[in-house]
A and B are shown apart, each in its own frame.
Chain A
Amino acid sequence: MINLHWLYILTGAIFAAFAIGCARETSNPKRFGSAVFWGLLAFSFWFGDLLTDVGNGVLVLVLAAVAGTGLIGRGSTDNAGSEDRQRSSDRYGNKLFLPALIIPFTAFVGTLLFNYTPLKAAGVIDTKAVTLVLLGVGVILALIVCFGWLKPPPLAPVEEGSRLMNAVGWAAVLPQMLAALGAIFAAAGVGTTIGALVSGIIPQGSVFLAVLVYALGMVMFTMIMGNAFAAFPVMAAAIGVPILVHADGGNAAVIGAVGMLSGFCGTLMTPMAANFNIVPVALLELKSQYAVVRAQVPTALVLLAANIAILYLAGFHL
């Protein structure tokens, strides 16, 4: 059965290629630090399951130390000049979009095939890993098509990939690191403490104020943890179920669904949701680390007000 481990082997190989690509990039003054950083990630993908938990912990500290002491960085330029790119763009025309669309298209068709044909029952692909497996298949197909059509130098994908990877830099690992921080927060009881704090400030006798504290609690806790998933069970236990559903008689489906979506408004406003808010800053080479968060705050605040209104009206008055 194709499961996550296959992808870990593929991903490890690609990170190893980035490490080699980096080490060869003579224009990059920090090429060896960067090569070590991506090399450690390749090691983690390949051998992480063989290490003890403490061994993996040491790996995490070394990764943080390499990035934190400024040992990683990027080279000066891209490989093809902008005139070359323009000429190539004119030459290949709109057909250039086709290989770029192979990855989304594989995800699209693959998901449909998997869900609506006997493929799912056949047990060839692990159900939990199917979107990521399709991503891997899409990448491999796209590379094959590119090689067959554009005939690039053999090392071009490695060079271009590691150029982009160095542009993203440490931000690439931040989402995974924050997920690990979330686990530590949970183990140390941060969630239950916040739940107790929030339920302590519930005013008596006002349904609207209770709804407000519930929604704002979801937002605040989500902003701290970086995702609404960690916040929801805590806020449901502190306010959602005992006060809104049981004491005030609210509609549990609305309280659950729209409570979670209020948390998503928090996700839009926090750098802790790194894969959504920090990674694109690196990918788009934006100046300010908070550029994406800033672009989202107005939408998030108005939408939060809308969610509070839905919670109050649909939860209690429909």
Chain B
Amino acid sequence: MIDYWPLLGILVVVVGFALRFNPLLVVAVAAIATGLLGHMPFLNVLGALGHAFNENRYVSIIWIVLPVIGLLERYGLQERARTLIANMRGATTGRLLIVYLGLRQLLAAVGLTSVMGHAQTVRPLLAPMALAAAEKEHGSLDEKTAGEVKAIAAATDNVGLFFGEDIFLAIASILLIQGALASFGIQLTPFQLSIWAIPSAICAFLIHGARLFLLDWRLRRRR
């Protein structure tokens, strides 16, 4: 007999997010609820939550870049990024993002996953450049359109990272696949796995690239 009760924890997350409670609160409540429904004593749940939070601190290290980014913004970095693109002939939002997508995939494919990222490159450089390119071509943007351009810049970073990194042999997900299959007696090398990430990477570039190409066309029609 399978115990379905712990699945209610998922429901807590979905309902909590939908009702727009603070996500940190929702996640904490969901964690406690899931543990209790899984028949763990309260102190064990609390301990497991605390232990996992402590073990995962490395996830939050990225914020140490903020003093540098903030300082450079004070001296006009975003304005400079805009000026650079505004003076560049033929630079459109779509083309700029397509170049970034390809670069992000290539660098991730050789293991350089943290060279770019939302805090390091998207906020200070890519998003202002994408906006400047759109404004140069299509005049000033309303707030909704500006938000869409910034969101697609962030999306481009994610797509490039996800569908580039698995081509690299020593990335965590390839090692995880290798380990999981090995536990069923299926022995594969990282190379055998990572080569099969290439077709998906090409599809990702074509699909997202086509959307970025259409973005220029959509922005043009808006005027």
Contact = CB atoms under 8 A, between A and B. Distances in A.
A binds B: yes
Interface of A: 4, 7-8, 10-11, 14-15, 17-18, 41, 44-45, 48-49, 51-61, 63-65, 67-68, 70, 78-80, 85-90, 92-94, 96-97, 99-100, 103-104, 107-108, 111, 115, 129, 131-132, 134-136, 139, 142-143, 146, 150, 152, 156-161, 163-165, 168, 170-185, 187-190, 193-194, 196-197, 224, 228-229, 232-233, 236-237, 241, 245, 252-254, 256-261, 264, 267-268, 271-272, 274-281, 283-284, 286-288, 291-292, 294-296, 298-299, 302-303, 306-307, 310, 314
A253 B37 CA distance: 37
B19 interface: no
Contact count band on B: 35 or more
A188 B38 contact: yes
A54 B46 contact: yes
Contacts of A85: 73-76, 78-79
Contacts of B152: 295
Which residue among B4, B27, B122, B207 has the maximum number of chain A CB atoms within 10 Å of its CB? Answer: B27
Interface in B62-83: 62-81, 83
A32 B25 CA distance: 19
A28 to B, nearest CB: 15
Contacts of A131: 113-114
A146 to B, nearest CB: 5
Contacts of B112: 107-108, 111
A145 to B, nearest CB: 9
B217 interface: no
> Which 8 pairs between the two chains have the least Cβ-Cβ distance?
A89-B76, A160-B70, A188-B38, A56-B50, A68-B25, A57-B50, A57-B46, A161-B67
B67 to A, nearest CB: 3
Nearest to B107: A108
B76 A64 contact: no
B9 A188 contact: yes
A157 to B, nearest CB: 4
Nearest to A65: B25
Given A165-B63, A189-B3, A268 B159 contact: yes
B121 interface: yes
Given A92-B76, A275-B59, A295-B154, A49 B114 contact: no
A48 B40 CA distance: 23
A224 B10 contact: yes
A189 B37 CA distance: 10
Given A163-B70, A280-B118, A56 B51 contact: yes
Given A60-B53, A132-B58, A181-B30, A157 B79 contact: no
A140 B131 CA distance: 30
Interface string B24-40: 11011011001101101
Nearest to A41: B60
B180 interface: yes
Contact of B150 (A41, A49, A284): A284
Secondary structure class of chain B's binding surface, majority of residues = helix
B50 A51 contact: yes
B173 to A, nearest CB: 6
B148 A295 contact: yes
Contact of A175 (B60, B76, B147, B186): B60
A64 B188 contact: no
B59 A175 contact: yes
B90 interface: no
Contact of B196 (A111, A253, A272, A276): A253
Contact of B23 (A174, A261, A287, A298): A174
A314 B197 CA distance: 12
A279 B123 CA distance: 11
Contacts of A196: 2
A195 to B, nearest CB: 10
Contacts of A100: 68-69, 72, 77, 124-125
A261 B53 contact: no
A104 B118 CA distance: 12
A85 B9 CA distance: 47
A283 B118 contact: yes
Nearest to A241: B184
A229 B142 CA distance: 39
Interface in B176-206: 176-178, 180-181, 184, 186, 188, 192-197, 199-200, 203-204
B107 to A, nearest CB: 8
Given A157-B70, A187-B40, A64 B24 contact: yes
Given A89-B79, A232-B176, A53 B68 contact: no
A258 B177 CA distance: 10
A257 B194 contact: yes
A306 B207 contact: yes
A55 B43 CA distance: 10
A283 B120 contact: no
A274 B48 CA distance: 21
